[in-house]
Amino acid sequence: MFRTSQLIIGFCSPSYQRTLWKRFIGTMPSRLVAVCQMTSGPDKEKNFEVVRDLVVEAKRRNAAIAFLPEACDYLTDNKKDIVAFADTLDGNLVKQYKELAAQEKIWLSVGGIHEAVPENREKVFNSHLIINEKGEIVSVYRKLHLFDMNNKATGVRLMESDYAMKGSKIEWPVSTPVGEIGLSICYDMRFPELALCLRDMGAKILTYPSAFTYQTGAAHWDVLLRARAIESQCYVIAAAQTGTHNRKRVSWGHAMIVDPWGSVIAQCSEGTGIAIASIDLESLHRTRQNMPVENHRRTDIYPEIKPLNL
C-alpha cells in the first residue's frame, strides 16, 4: 500500500503531492515517543505548568506518548511536606493529568507521583501511572525497590523508606500505540531481575522515570540503562529530573532513550526539555532473532526467573 500511494502521488502536481502526503502520514499510527526532563520543586501548580508545556510540545512533534520523570508532581526537602502534599489517585492533580492526556489526545507515562495512602498518614506510595489518550488510567505500578542511602562516611542520607511504602507486585506490561511497556521507577533499574521478568511477560519497552542523584548519575546512569536494554533486548526510556531542587537535592538529568542493541538514540541536553525517538519493533524482533539469548538461558542450572504476586 505504501508503494501504491507513492505511485499515485507521483502523478500529482507538487503542491497537491504535499497535501496528499500530509493526509497519508496523518493516517499512520505514530511510534514516536517523547522522553521529558524537568526540575521539580515544592510548588505543585508550577510543576504542572511545566508538565503541560512538555506534553504540548511532545504532541506538536507527533509523539504518541510522553514519558514524565519521577516526582513530576513535586520535590520537597522534608518528610512532613512530602506526605502532606500527596494526593490520592482520584484527587485533583491526577485529574489534571487525565484531562491533559484527553485534551492533547496523547498517552502519558506519569513517571512517579506521591500517592496518598488513606489508611497510612505517615507514608505514601511512589506510583507510576499510564494514562491513555482518552484520559483513562490503564495501569498503576507502585515502586518495588526503595532507595535507602545512609552513608556516614560521605554524609549522604537519602532514605526513601522514611516516607514511602514498598509496592507488592509487578504489573503486566501495558499495550500502547508504541508497543508493550513494562513499568518501573528509578532505583528499580539496579535490579536486572525485574527487567527480565517484564521482558518474559511480553514487554518491548522498559521505563525508568527517575530523579537520579547527581553523584550516582554521573557514575552509573548511562551504564545501567544501556545494560538493562542489552540484557532484556528491549527499548529503555528514562525520563529524568535535572538540576538543583533545593539545598539537599541535585539531580543528574540526561533523560534518554536506548534501543535494544544498547545504543542511545535520543537524549535531553541540560535543563527542561524533551527528546524524540521512534520505536522500531521490527528492529527489536531482528535483534532478538539474531541473538536469541532467551533460548540460551540455563534455567536447569539456576532458578528460572518468574514474576511473583501477580
Q: Annotated catalytic sites, by residue?
A: 70, 143, 186
Distance separating alpha carbons of residues 233 and 206, to the nearest angstrom: 10
- 261: left (phi > 0), else alpha (psi -120 to 50), else beta? alpha
Residues 100, 103, 108, 111, Cα dihedral to 10° = 0
Cβ atoms 268, 37 nearer than 8 A = yes
Grid cell 531482528 is found at 286
For cell 484527587, the residue is: 91
Amino acid residing at 22:
K
Please name the residues in contact with 277: beta carbons below 8 A apart, sequence gap of 6 or more: 32, 33, 35, 257, 265, 266
Q: Which three cell numbers stand for residue 24?
A: 497519508
Check: CB of residue 257 under 8 Å from CB of residue 264: yes
Q: How far is the C-alpha of 176 from the C-alpha of 129, rounded, in Å?
A: 13
| CA angle, residues 30, 34, 36, in degrees to nearest 5 | 165
